[in-house]
Amino acid sequence: MKELQLLIKPVSSACNLACRYCFYMDEAGHRQVGDCGRMTEETAKIVIEKALAAAQTCVFGFQGGEPALAGLPFFEMFYAWVEKLKKPDQQVYYTLQTNGTLLDEAWLRFLKKTRTLVGLSMDGVRKTHDENRRGRDGEGTFSEVFDTAQRLKQEGIPFHILCVLTAETAARIEAIYRFFMRKGYLCQQYIPCLDPLGDRRGEEPYSLTPALYEEALKKLFDLWYEDKVKGVPVYLRQFENYVDMLLGGQPEACSMYGQCSMQNVIESDGTIYPCDFYALDEYQMGNLTDPELTFEFLQQKANAMEKGSFFETAGKRDDRCPGCRWYPLCRGGCKRDCYRIDGREKNYYCEAFQGFFAYAESRLELLADVRSRGRI
């Protein structure tokens, strides 16, 4: 195996915040065991040993809940064990997705020293952030997160802003983009909000509807495109991926693959799931503390697409996909956004993507042409 990416939940679903739209807390509530506790040192070492035995390049990503709740000593132990076991020719990278409220000066020194890429959750300006991202006391957390963003920037620690697209953020997307740019947060990702499992889409106060998503994508694209042609080094993951795909490249985001792939989501007790959006009992693929379970075997299971498994319908998307002119870029979107209605498979955001690609196609192709000439 050439490369292996892991998404590790060192404290399971535990979090010090109470965000209104938290998809992982929702998933945990649908499992027999919602919170698996803190990952033990023994389990961490097993994960590391099996990962380094499986691949030449390993990306250890940490997410939650809030992974920083595991404590800095846990991460120091984890990184030290990786350094001890990895071969001289192996490459290792680290990412940490965090709400940013627990990162003190000791954390910042560690992240800078280890060159960990930070994904910092910030839902735009104070009003839009505090609407949904609140502490256990019900108070908004914008001030704490903004302070962390400023310190990350000052220390030169690489970080991306992760902004969840909700009804609130989508409606104010222009102000949010301009705020991020004024503050020098040039690497941005905008992530569509998920409604609770089993609920009818679009009925929560924070729900992102197809119409809101389409309008937000168009406004974001206009702003991003204007800055790109000016030579501003701004990076919006989704749009950058579309340009790369037009040049024949492979997208980073799994929702752009056109088929679900093994995402190696590892709960704190070692249980492994195929996808962060399907960390449910029925999709468990085993536990890495089992001496017989390896990452190579898990990949073989994913490739086999066995009947009844998560991967049986790995490539199933909207029934309209095969005849859609936008499929080479859209690839059908995320499986979690697909549902069956009137005997047909449908992607909730299909019309939003159709409207967006029709709007942005010529400019995406122009940027791809410019990039192919090495000018951006």
108/50 Cα distance (integer angstroms): 29
pLDDT computed for residue 267 by the predictor: 98
pLDDT computed for residue 252 by the predictor: 86
320/108 Cα distance (integer angstroms): 48
356/362 Cα distance (integer angstroms): 11
Q: Is 4 left (phi over 0), alpha (psi -120 to 50) or beta?
A: beta
Q: Per the residue annotation, which of 26, 227, 269, 276 is the catalytic one?
A: 276
For residues 59 and 93, the answer to whether their CB atoms sit within 8 Å is yes
Look up residue 138 and give its two tokens. 């019900």
pLDDT computed for residue 376 by the predictor: 65
Q: What is the pTM assigned to this prediction?
A: 0.95
pLDDT computed for residue 343 by the predictor: 87
pLDDT computed for residue 342 by the predictor: 86
Pairing of strands 272-273, 265-266: antiparallel
Query: Is 276 marked active-site?
Result: yes
Q: For each of the chain's 376 residues, which pLDDT tens digit applies?
A: 899 999 999 999 999 999 999 999 999 999 999 999 999 999 999 999 999 999 999 999 999 999 999 999 999 999 999 999 999 999 999 999 999 999 999 999 999 999 999 999 999 999 999 999 999 999 999 999 999 999 999 999 999 999 999 999 999 999 999 999 999 999 999 999 999 999 999 999 999 999 999 999 999 999 999 999 999 999 999 999 999 999 999 888 888 998 999 999 999 999 999 999 999 999 999 999 999 999 999 999 999 988 889 999 898 999 999 999 999 999 999 999 998 888 899 999 999 999 999 999 999 999 999 998 876 6
